[in-house]
A and B are shown apart, each in its own frame.
Chain A
Amino acid sequence: MSRPRAAYDGVVVCAPVTVPYQRFSPQPAHWWAGAALRLLARETGFGPADIDGFCFSSFSAGPDTAVGMTQHMGLTPRWLDHIPTGGASGVMALRRATRAVQCGDAEVVVCLAADTNQIDSFRQGLSAFSRFSQDAVYPYGFGGPNATFALITDAWMRETGVERTDFGRLCLAQRANAASNPLALQRGVLTMETYLAARPIADPVHLFDCVMPCAGAEAFIVTTPEIAAARGLAGAGILGTIERHNAYHEDPVQRRGGWAMDIDDLWTMAGIGPGDVDCLQVYDDYPVIVAMQLVDLGFCAKEEIVDFIRRTDFEIGGDLPLNTNGGQLSAGQAGAAGGFQNVTEGLRQILHCPLGAQVPDAGIAAISGFGLVNYDRGVCTAAALLKALR
Chain B
Amino acid sequence: MSAIYVLLIVSLLVAAGFLVAFLWSVNTGQYEDDYTPSVRILFDDPADDSTSGTEPSETASPPNDSNPHH
Q: Do A and B come from one complex?
A: no
